[in-house]
Amino acid sequence: MNSFSFTLFIFSITIFLQCLSSTGAATCHPDDEAGLLAFKSGITQDPSGMLSSWKKGTSCCSWKGVICLNSDRVTILELVGFLKKPERSLSGTLSPSLAKLKHLNVISLGDHGNITGSFPKFLLQLTKLRYVDIQNNRLSGPLPANIGVINTLEEIFLNGNKFTGSIPNSISNLTRLSYLFLGGNLLTGTIPYEISNLKLLQNLNLGGNRLSGTIPDIFESMTLLKFLDLSRNGFSGELPPSIVSVAPTLLALELSQNNLSGTIPGYISRFNRLEKLNLSKNRFSGVVPEGFVNLTNLNNLDLSHNLLTDQFPDLIINTIEYLDLSYNQFQLETIPKWVTSLPSIFLLKLAKCGIKMSLDDWKPAEPLYFHYIDLSKNEISGSLERFLNQTEYLLELRVAGNKLRFDMGNLTFPRTLKTLDLSRNLVFGKVPATVAGLERLNVSQNHLCGELPATLFPASAFACNDCLCGSPFSPCKV
Ligand SMILES: *[C@@H]1O[C@H](CO)[C@@H](O)[C@H](O)[C@H]1NC(C)=O
Ligand SMILES: *[C@@H]1O[C@H](CO)[C@@H](O)[C@H](O)[C@H]1NC(C)=O
Ligand SMILES: *[C@@H]1O[C@H](CO)[C@@H](O)[C@H](O)[C@H]1NC(C)=O
Ligand SMILES: *[C@@H]1O[C@H](CO)[C@@H](O)[C@H](O)[C@H]1NC(C)=O
Ligand SMILES: *[C@@H]1O[C@H](CO)[C@@H](O)[C@H](O)[C@H]1NC(C)=O
Ligand SMILES: *[C@@H]1O[C@H](CO)[C@@H](O)[C@H](O)[C@H]1NC(C)=O
Ligand SMILES: *[C@@H]1O[C@H](CO)[C@@H](O)[C@H](O)[C@H]1NC(C)=O
Ligand SMILES: *[C@@H]1O[C@H](CO)[C@@H](O)[C@H](O)[C@H]1NC(C)=O
């Protein structure tokens, strides 16, 4: 999702410069040296010594993370942290003295996790900025109302902080933007209509905020948009008509966890480059349009937790790897043939889809690659044995609340399996010792009997069976 093209570009420049460095590192402008040393003094923790080469009196152009292209002025400052490794990240605040680096094109200080303070206002004074990455830190407070003055910006990553308040209208002046990442903050209010000015946007990420209202009709001129993420907010109402304008270019549409309603429009058939469609956890209703058959590049399709009804079109789309249709109002009766014939599916979730078949009749084309299966809350009968025997990479199997009837003692499952939920079925026999290797198990409300193998699972995992004994229940009678 995130593009690292620019970072790669910087990386190749770094190598290129190192090759040229026979002439010796350029000296460094005193303003830049002073600005960088002030930045260093705002950093309170640098456990990996990321800034150890930053010493007064040495040329700042040769300091780690600092690049001066063509002159004694710093053009790139790139010190990226490691979110999962605090020992390779910086803590502290961003010194306003960085405003002295007047020639800065690129500033990349993301993923440190512990850089705090308000929005770095010095950015507003830098007139050559093209790329700003301060994502995944702990910056807070509002975005400046005049953020639009940095109108040289092409990519900005502010995601994963704690910014509050609304998206400033002046964002409409950042007309060169192709990447706008504001996701994972605490932003409120509506999407300003002015965002429709950003005609070069390729990636708009506002997911995981507290935005609300309807999605404004902003897409008409965004003819380059590839990724749109508005998920995990409080948007309501129907999809805006202009969204069809991005049909020829869009690769991913993520609108999950909002309060969107209405039907899925028939023009969805025109989004023929779409690889990922996530509409889960909304209030979409009506039938899934036949036009889905034209989405022949679809990889991930998640329509779960809506109010959709039959008939579901036959999506003979060989690229589907991730399919979740759970918790709608479907009455599929069987696992559809087109699902069964998907050649590279690794996640299948059809919970509460009105499936009434016997699992013995299900012969998926490529069972080997399944990693996640959820068929809970259907009326599936028969045995799991044959299917499980064919899988090799299964991590999670959930079939709670069906009519499965088989001898659990005979069950063998792949060593990869971590989660098995068989609760509320008609399973009989003994619980096999192999369940001890699982991380999560639930076999409650079946007809199991006999001595339980030694495991650490709580009693509720085994509750309401016919005659189980041994820990966590009372000892078996001898
Ligand atoms: C942030 O700081 C706290 C306490 O100073 C520390 O425990 C934590 O590991 C740091 N996290 C990161 C990502 O640096
Ligand atoms: C955009 O920039 C123009 C010219 O600099 C300015 O007049 C206008 O107020 C700005 N728009 C917003 C919404 O800030
Ligand atoms: C979702 O939208 C419905 C109307 O479509 C409204 O009644 C409901 O309160 C909304 N829920 C939330 C959480 O906003
Ligand atoms: C799918 O696309 C073809 C041509 O690209 C078009 O003729 C057909 O009507 C479309 N099908 C649906 C159901 O929209
Ligand atoms: C869709 O979004 C939901 C919630 O935001 C998430 O749990 C799920 O993994 C997403 N599905 C796909 C295919 O990424
Ligand atoms: C499971 O597979 C093994 C070996 O591949 C085979 O011997 C056994 O009969 C199979 N069991 C079932 C129930 O298909
Ligand atoms: C299950 O195991 C029992 C006892 O080991 C055996 O009698 C029975 O035939 C087995 N069932 C199947 C379907 O393999
Ligand atoms: C097992 O499932 C039952 C019923 O679905 C539930 O009440 C119980 O909390 C679950 N136990 C565990 C350990 O998941």
The predicted pLDDT at position 45 comes to: 95
CB of residue 151 inside a 6 A radius of ligand 2:
no
How many independent structural domains does the chain possess? 2
Instruction: State how far the Cα of 391 lies from the Cα of 396, in Å rounded to an integer.
Output: 11
| DSSP letter assigned to residue 407 | B
Tokens 């129907």 belong to residue: 238
| CB contact set of 21 (below 8 Å; sequence gap of 6+) | none
Label the pairing between strands 91-93 and 43-45.
antiparallel
Residue 394 inside a domain? The answer is: yes
The predicted pLDDT at position 225 comes to: 98
Give the helix/strand (H/E) hosting 115.
strand 114-118
DSSP E strand stretches across 125-239: 131-133, 138-142, 155-157, 162-164, 179-181, 188-189, 203-205, 210-213, 227-229, 234-237
Q: Kindly state whether residues 204 and 342 are assigned to the same domain.
A: no
Report CA-CA distances (Å) from 364 to 335, 387, 433: 10, 9, 28
Instruction: State how far the Cα of 385 lies from the Cα of 315, in Å rounded to an integer.
Output: 28
The predicted pLDDT at position 10 comes to: 52
Long-range contacts of the stretch 362-368 (C-beta < 8 A, 24+): 362/335, 362/387, 364/340, 365/340, 365/341, 366/342, 367/391, 368/392, 368/393
Omega of the bond leading into 472 within 30 degrees of 0 (cis): yes
Per-residue pLDDT reduced to its tens digit, 432-475: 999 999 999 999 999 999 999 999 999 999 999 999 999 999 99
Domain edge (last residue) among 197, 213, 229:
213
Please give the number of the atom of ligand 2 that sits closest to the Cα of 194: 13
Low pLDDT (below 70) residues in the chain: 1-26
Residue type for 280, please? S
Angle among Cα 95, 101, 103 to the nearest 5 degrees reads: 150
The predicted pLDDT at position 436 comes to: 94
Closest-approaching ligand to the CA atom of 146: 2
The predicted pLDDT at position 25 comes to: 52
Q: How many residues does the chain have?
A: 478
Name the residue of 442, 443, 455, 468 to mutate for ligand 8: max ligand atoms within 8 A of Cβ: 442
**Residues lining ligand 4, judged by CB closer than 6 Å?**
269, 290-291, 293-294
Residue 85 inside a domain? The answer is: yes
> How many Å lie between the centroid of ligand 4 and the Cα of residue 251?
18
Residue 138 inside a domain? The answer is: yes
DSSP E strand stretches across 299-407: 300-302, 307-309, 322-324, 347-349, 372-374, 381-382, 396-398, 403-404
Please give the number of the atom of ligand 1 that sits closest to the Cα of 86: 14
Residue 280 inside a domain? The answer is: no
Among 175, 182, 179, which residue's Cα sits nearest to residue 196? Answer: 175
Backbone angles phi, psi at 438, to 5 degrees: -85, 160
Contact 322, 347 (CB under 8 A): yes
CB of residue 113 inside a 6 A radius of ligand 1:
yes
CB of residue 229 inside a 6 A radius of ligand 5:
no
CB of residue 105 inside a 6 A radius of ligand 1:
no
Q: Kindly state whether residues 53 and 202 are assigned to the same domain.
A: yes
CB of residue 95 inside a 6 A radius of ligand 5:
no
Please give the number of the atom of ligand 5 that sits closest to the Cα of 281: 4
Domain edge (last residue) among 213, 239, 265:
213
Structural domain including 397 reads 331-478
Structure tokens at 289: 């349009």
Residue 302 inside a domain? The answer is: no
Residue 364 inside a domain? The answer is: yes
Please give the number of the atom of ligand 2 that sits closest to the Cα of 169: 13
Closest-approaching ligand to the CA atom of 279: 5
| DSSP letter assigned to residue 88 | G
Contact 116, 89 (CB under 8 A): no
Residue 312 inside a domain? The answer is: no
Residue 31 inside a domain? The answer is: yes
For the domain that residue 17 is a member of, what is the CATH number?
3.80.10.10
Instruction: State how far the Cα of 153 lies from the Cα of 124, in Å rounded to an integer.
Output: 11
Q: Kindly state whether residues 336 and 478 are assigned to the same domain.
A: yes
Domain edge (last residue) among 213, 233, 259:
213
| CB contact set of 26 (below 8 Å; sequence gap of 6+) | 59, 61, 68, 71, 72
> How many Å lie between the centroid of ligand 3 and the Cα of residue 238?
12
